[in-house]
């Protein structure tokens, strides 16, 4: 991996524009995409075409000529590489050698082409026919106690394989069904549900035609969901004000040139996205939003005293909410000085944002990992909802709360039963449709699974996608224990580090990507996905698969299930389902009739179909039956507070990566390139710490209390790079810095690892 000094060269161009085309071309070359791959992109995100496997942003009813973005194109071109990681290539190396190569080099070997089985005697993966692989894995699973195994899913697999995967797990005998959402938006699934009764966002595309102010918190659209920038640009051009909360001045939230717009591409005048940029410190959103609420309440008091109309929507508060008085009492008892300290913002900044809120007819709250990946992340979400509730900004046009989801079908996987929580599983329907009695007790989420790996109680693992051992906290400790498992099985497209940590018996099962045709007995199959707006779309592709030996994720799940369960459940018709996926959709429709009725007919209309959201109709499925105000227990969402010499570290994605898949070493929009082993630091902090730009330092996790005696967590030799950040804040890349995140340092309600506010200190290298 290149590791030269990153030149923080200024990137003066905006997001989008020619820079994004250059970015695509560079990745096309690096990925060695096949010459026709660029043509395939024309079908991306279009009705009748395939849906991008990158992010979960909605696919419009009336798509652009090229309905893809820089990073969606990169994801597809990466999938469509000409490089092949054949058995020859893999068997040339021992698994220990492969493990030493790291994810970047492993993925660059190309697409996996045949199923492989680990041979411990030679420490190599060796090709194995599919039938044998299924039979051997099935036999191994039958030997194990189902409850000692975990079936993980990364959010890419479509609704059809996901529905069957959950069914397979429960028929086999467990609810251990964590997915990538457990490291991501689980804080939303739990925290947003707690306060408005909906685990998903309430906004729809046409709300953006009416919104006046957007609070845009902890999400980086330029890199992670670039197609949203078209929507934000149109809103801004209509007069909408976007108020950003982010410790980093992210380029995508500042200016954007629409690569679909020939005039803008030629003249190059970018659209300014942010109206106001609040550079909060990590976890500072909680206090910042409290300050905004405080100003709104003051404005309301001033208005009443002056005989002007109320600022608060009292009718809405009365009829639809609970907990308002307790929250207001806390707000009034909290000093501005404390809010300034906890947020990193000035009182004036919070007050100005409060004025914008109070004056706007329609307000939306949008957020991402900057809110969810904190110990008190659900309270930050609660505080954003508090603000929205003050003026009835949920459940009407132009307003609402909109989490931006990660993987393209991560929301949908939860919808169709991939969940460790039995209360969310369609237990009755399984009984009715398949005569299936499912296990009663809740299963493992990601953190519980990892605890099971560490203490040896989790003995089997199937990963439907993902590079889990490298994406999780404390990953050095996890790596050691991972190999002690009896069984590890990976359904994957490319080789990664997790595959190179084989359990005692281990297989890699290579699968199709979304842009490849999926030929089964009844022809080329459709699959479907659900986006961040709860719209469901069909997806079908026509590209010849990377290898004739590949199977679809659906076929692999059916193969594993059949081999494991035998004939024990006559109504689980794996062969029929595999032959014709429309029959799986019939089952989905029968399981969730309110949302998925006539799924086969409805999913292919332009814009897909909407599965609805009660909170959008102001029906609150909460414990109280109302929208609930959150009375915070803390002012900063980080789990460990300030101390002398302590910094809070934010882990980030670069513009050249999809999670642990690193496409290259350019973080163009941040002006960084060359190395990922860096730590960003405020110039004043560099001076105060007695450091120099370019110097190498170690970072050490700085825990206290019960955890002070734990073995040291350290990442060595990171280059110090000056960067515009709040005081006492550091930033660097995920997954390189994951060894610093303790497994126990997670969100309080959802157990989402708190990757955005890690307490660390700097040690000389």
Residues in contact with ligand MGD, counted by CB under 6 A, come to a total of: 61
Return the number of the residue (246 or 458) whose C-beta is nearest ligand MGD: 246
Report CA-CA distances (Å) from 288 to 245, 280, 358, 390, 567.
9, 8, 15, 16, 58
H or E, element range at 532:
none
Q: How far is the CB of 180 from Mo ion (least distance, A)?
A: 5
Tokens of 391: 């003026």
The two tokens of residue 417 are 């039963």
Nearest approach, Cβ of 300 to ligand MGD (angstroms)? Answer: 26
Which of ligand MGD, Mo ion, none interacts with 734 (beta carbon under 5 to 8 A by kind)? ligand MGD
Does 500 engage in binding with ligand MGD (CB under 6 A)?
A: no
Residue 751 near ligand MGD by CB under 6 A: no
d(CA 135, CA 614): 45
Alpha helix ranges (H) inside 440-492:
446-455, 468-471, 475-482
Residue 646 CB neighbour total at 10 angstroms = 16
For tokens 């019939």, name the residue: 586
* Binding segment toward ligand MGD, per CB under 6 A, in 245-253, 296-304, 541-549, 673-681: 245-253
- Beta carbons within 8 Å of 678's beta carbon, 6+ residues apart: 6, 672, 718, 719, 720, 721, 732, 733
Identify each DSSP E strand in 292-438 by its residue range: 321-322, 363-367, 400-403
| Binding piece for ligand MGD, criterion CB under 6 A, among 381-389, 463-471, 479-487, 584-592 | 463-471
CA 98 to CA 506: how far, in whole Å?
A: 15
Measured from the CB atom, is 110 or 392 closer to ligand MGD? Answer: 110
Interface residue with ligand MGD among 16, 465, 726, 759 (CB under 6 A) is 465
Distance CA 650, CA 730 (A): 6
Closest of 556, 520, 681, 513 to residue 156, by C-alpha:
513
Give me the residues that bind Mo ion (CB under 5 A), please: 184, 406
Residue of 350, 439, 495, 406 whose CA lies nearest to 166: 439
What tokens appear for 380 in the block? 């930050």
CB of 368 to Mo ion, least distance (A): 9
Contact region for ligand MGD (CB under 6 A) — 269-277, 601-609, 644-652, 742-750? Answer: 644-652
Taking CB under 6 A as the rule, does residue 222 contact ligand MGD? no
Nearest to 506 by CA among 524, 525, 522, 492: 492
Q: How far apart are CA 659 and CA 470, in angstroms?
A: 10
Nearer to ligand MGD, 6 or 395 (CB): 6
**Contacted by 158, from ligand MGD, Mo ion, none: CB < 5 to 8 Å by type:** none
Where does this chain touch ligand MGD (CB under 6 A) — which range of 275-283, 533-541, 583-591, 712-720? 275-283
Binding of ligand MGD at residue 426 (CB under 6 A)? no
- Is 675 a binding residue for ligand MGD by CB under 6 A? The answer is no
Query: Per rule CB under 6 A, is residue 673 in the interface with ligand MGD?
Result: no
Cβ contact 211:243 at 8 Å: no
Phi-psi region of 698 (alpha: psi -120 to 50; beta: other; left: phi over 0): beta
Question: Cβ of residue 492: shortest distance to ligand MGD, in angstroms?
Answer: 4
Among residues 403 and 406, whose Cβ is nearest to Mo ion? 406
Q: Which of 118, 277, 734, 745 binds ligand MGD (CB under 6 A)?
A: 734
C-beta of 392: minimal distance to ligand MGD in Å? 24
588 binds, among ligand MGD, Mo ion, none (CB under 5 to 8 A by kind): none
Window 645-664: residues binding ligand MGD (CB under 6 A): 650-653, 657-661
Per rule CB under 6 A, is residue 458 in the interface with ligand MGD?
A: no
Binding residues for ligand MGD restricted to 169-188, rule: CB under 6 A: 180, 183-184
**Is the Cα torsion angle 222, 226, 228, 232 positive or negative in sign?**
positive
Interatomic CA distance for residues 58 and 530, integer angstroms: 9
Residues 684 and 687: their CA atoms lie apart, in Å, by 5
| Among 40, 44, 45, 54, contact with ligand MGD (rule: CB under 6 A) | 54
Report the SS3 class of residue 457: coil
Per-residue contact track with ligand MGD, 544 to 583, x per CB under 6 A? ---------x------------------------------
Rounded to a whole number of angstroms, the minimum distance from the CB of residue 267 to ligand MGD is: 27
46, 111, 124, 156: residue in contact with ligand MGD (rule CB under 6 A): 156
- Considering only residues 357 to 396 of the shown chain, the ones binding ligand MGD according to CB under 6 A are 368-370, 373
**How many CA atoms lie less than 13 Å away from 8 in the CB half-sphere?**
14
Is 344 near ligand MGD (CB under 6 A)?
Answer: no
Distance CA 129, CA 549 (A): 9
502 belongs to the binding site for ligand MGD (CB under 6 A): no
- SS3 state at 38: helix
Q: What is the DSSP string of 137-189?
A: HHHHHHHS-GGGEEEEE-TTS-HHHHHHHHHHHHHHT-----BGGGGTTHHHH
Q: Which range touches ligand MGD (CB under 6 A), out of 30-38, 348-356, 604-612, 735-743?
A: 735-743
User: Would you give the binding string for ligand MGD spanning residues 289-328, x where CB under 6 A is met?
Assistant: ----------------------------------------
How far from 755 is each of 72, 118, 591, 731, CA to CA, in Å? 24, 33, 36, 11
CB of 71 to Mo ion, least distance (A): 14
Closer Cβ to Mo ion, 354 or 368, answer by number? 368
Whether the Cβ atoms of residue 116 and residue 494 lie closer than 8 Å to each other = no
Binding partner of residue 445 among ligand MGD, Mo ion, none, CB cut-off 5 to 8 Å per kind: none
- 488 contacts ligand MGD (rule: CB under 6 A): no
Pairing of β 672-673 and β 666-667 = antiparallel
Q: How far is the CB of 406 from Mo ion (least distance, A)?
A: 3
Q: Which CB sits closer to ligand MGD, 419 or 438? A: 419
Which residues of the chain form contacts with ligand MGD (CB under 6 A)? 53-55, 71, 107, 154, 156, 180, 183-184, 217-220, 223-225, 245-248, 250, 280, 282-283, 285, 368-370, 373, 406-407, 464-468, 471, 491-494, 496, 511, 513, 553, 650-653, 657-661, 734-735, 738, 741, 755-756
């Amino acid at each position: 991996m290149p590791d030269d000094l990153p030149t923080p060269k200024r990137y003066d161009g905006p997001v989008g524009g020619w820079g994004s085309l250059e970015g695509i071309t560079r990745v096309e070359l690096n990925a060695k995409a096949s010459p026709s791959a660029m043509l395939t992109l024309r079908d991306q995100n279009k009705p009748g075409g395939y849906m991008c496997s990158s992010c979960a942003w909605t696919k419009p009813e009336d798509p652009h000529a090229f309905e893809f973005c820089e990073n969606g194109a990169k994801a597809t071109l990466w999938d469509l590489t000409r490089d092949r990681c054949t058995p020859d290539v893999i068997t040339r190396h021992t698994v220990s050698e492969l493990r030493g190569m790291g994810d970047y080099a492993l993925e660059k070997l190309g697409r996996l082409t045949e199923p492989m089985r680990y041979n411990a005697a030679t420490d190599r993966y060796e090709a194995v026919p599919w039938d044998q692989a299924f039979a051997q894995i099935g036999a191994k699973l039958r030997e194990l106690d189902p409850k000692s195994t975990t079936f993980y899913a990364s959010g890419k697999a479509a609704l059809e394989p996901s529905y069957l995967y959950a069914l397979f797990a429960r028929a086999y005998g467990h609810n251990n069904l964590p997915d990538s959402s457990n490291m991501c938006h689980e804080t939303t699934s739990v925290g947003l549900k707690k306060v408005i009764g909906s685990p998903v966002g309430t906004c729809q595309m046409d709300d953006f035609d009416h919104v006046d102010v957007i609070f845009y918190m902890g999400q980086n659209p330029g890199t992670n969901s670039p197609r949203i920038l078209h929507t934000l640009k149109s809103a801004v051009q209509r007069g909408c004000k976007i108020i950003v909360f982010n410790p980093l001045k992210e380029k995508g939230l500042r200016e954007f040139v629409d690569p679909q717009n020939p005039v803008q591409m030629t003249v190059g005048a970018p659209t300014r996205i942010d109206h106001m940029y609040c550079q909060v410190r990590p976890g500072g959103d909680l206090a910042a939003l409290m300050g905004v609420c405080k100003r709104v309440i003051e404005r309301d008091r001033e208005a009443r005293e002056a005989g002007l109309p109320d600022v608060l929507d009292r009718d809405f508060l009365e009829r639809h909410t609970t907990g308002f008085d307790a929250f207001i009492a806390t707000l009034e008892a909290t000093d501005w000085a404390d809010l300034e300290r906890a947020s990193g913002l000035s009182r004036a900044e919070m007050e100005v944002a409060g004025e914008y809120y109070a004056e706007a007819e329609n307000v939306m709250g949008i957020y991402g990992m900057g809110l969810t990946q904190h110990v008190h992340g659900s309270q930050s979400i609660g505080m954003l909802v508090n603000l929205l509730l003050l003026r009835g900004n949920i459940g009407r046009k132009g307003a609402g709360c909109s989490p931006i989801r990660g993987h393209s079908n991560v929301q949908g996987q939860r919808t169709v039963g991939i969940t460790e929580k039995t209360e969310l599983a369609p237990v009755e329907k399984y009984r009715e449709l398949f005569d299936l009695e499912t296990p009663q007790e809740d299963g493992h989420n990601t953190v519980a699974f990892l605890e099971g790996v560490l203490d040896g109680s989790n003995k089997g693992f199937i990963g439907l996608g993902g590079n889990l051992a490298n994406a999780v906290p404390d990953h050095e400790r996890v790596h050691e224990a991972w190999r002690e498992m009896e069984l590890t099985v990976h359904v994957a497209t490319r080789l990664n580090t997790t595959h190179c940590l084989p359990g005692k018996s281990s297989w890699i099962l290579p699968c199709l990507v979304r842009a490849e045709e999926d030929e089964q007995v009844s022809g080329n199959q459709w699959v479907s996905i659900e986006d961040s707006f709860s719209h469901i779309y069909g997806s079908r592709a026509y590209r010849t698969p990377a290898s004739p030996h590949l199977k679809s994720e659906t076929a692999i799940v059916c193969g594993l299930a059949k081999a494991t369960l035998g004939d024990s459940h006559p109504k689980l018709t794996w062969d029929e389902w595999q032959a014709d996926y429309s029959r799986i959709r019939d089952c989905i429709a029968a399981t969730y009739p309110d949302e998925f009725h006539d799924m086969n007919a409805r999913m292919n209309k332009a814009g897909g179909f909407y599965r609805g959201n009660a909170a959008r109709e102001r029906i609150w499925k909460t414990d109280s039956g109302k929208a609930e105000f959150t009375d915070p227990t803390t002012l900063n969402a980080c789990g460990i507070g300030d101390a002398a010499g302590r910094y809070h570290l934010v882990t980030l994605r670069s513009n050249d990566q999809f999670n642990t898949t690193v496409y290259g070493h350019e973080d163009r929009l941040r002006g960084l390139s060359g190395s990922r082993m860096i730590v960003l630091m405020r110039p004043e902090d560099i001076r105060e710490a007695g450091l120099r730009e370019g110097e190498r330092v170690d970072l050490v996790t700085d825990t206290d209390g019960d955890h002070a005696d734990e073995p040291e967590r350290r990442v060595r030799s990171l280059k110090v790079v000056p960067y515009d950040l709040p005081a006492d804040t550091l930033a660097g890349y995920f997954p390189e810095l994951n060894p610093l995140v303790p497994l126990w340092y997670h969100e309080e309600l959802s157990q989402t690892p708190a990757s955005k506010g890690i307490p660390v200190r700097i040690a000389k290298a």
